[in-house]
Amino acid sequence: MDFPNIPTSLTGASLIIKAVAGVATLALIGLAVWFVIFRPAAVQQDAADARSDKAVATSQAGAAKENTTIIIRHRDEVDDIDDRTENASNDIHNAPGAGDEIDPDLHRAGIDSLCLHDGNSDRPACESVFQRDGFGLRPR
């Protein structure tokens, strides 16, 4: 059997084999270049990232420990303030004369003096102490 379109020599096949071998050689050279030049840089970057991550984790752990200490100290201070407030309240309510009536004029003078502090000026009980004008609240 004779195939007229198929070359009888191996010249075409050898060109294909040489082309495939050339591409494979280029691929191997590219892989070698990548391993020799680019891969060490990537490894160094990975190592730098690992060191950076370790430093960040260490800092975060230190900050968390410090934060916990601050929270505990604050809780202890709040507990101490609550205890002192409760003791002072008990002392005031159990003091001699604590149940006696307060002179209304003295009571009003105490309220008026509390109203003069910035934090209390907007309270309804302070309306008689201040007057409103175009510039805000002013004492009467």
Q: Are residues 49 and 111 in the same domain?
A: no
3-state SS class at 3: coil
Mean pLDDT confidence for 58-67: 93
> How far apart (Å, rounded) are the C-alpha atoms in residues 129 and 137?
9
3-state helix, strand, coil in the chain (%, to 5): 70, 5, 20
pLDDT at 101 over 80: yes
> How far apart (Å, rounded) are the C-alpha atoms in residues 122 and 2?
112
Whether residue 62 lies inside any domain: the answer is yes
Q: How confident is the model at residue 18 (pLDDT cuts 50, 70, 90)?
A: confident
DSSP assignment, residue 133?
E
**What per-residue confidence (pLDDT) applies to 90?**
92
Domain membership of residue 63 as a residue range = 13-91
Q: How confident is the model at residue 110 (pLDDT cuts 50, 70, 90)?
A: confident
Mean pLDDT confidence for 105-122: 79
Place of tokens 């309240």: 89
Whether residue 97 lies inside any domain: the answer is no
Number of domains in the chain: 2
* Torsion, CA 42, CA 44, CA 49, CA 55, rounded to 10: 180
Q: Are residues 87 and 109 in the same domain?
A: no
Q: Are residues 76 and 135 in the same domain?
A: no
Mean pLDDT confidence for 92-98: 88
Q: How confident is the model at residue 76 (pLDDT cuts 50, 70, 90)?
A: very high
Q: Are residues 18 and 78 in the same domain?
A: yes
Q: Are residues 22 and 60 in the same domain?
A: yes
Whether residue 5 lies inside any domain: the answer is no
Whether the Cβ atoms of residue 81 and residue 75 lie closer than 8 Å to each other: no
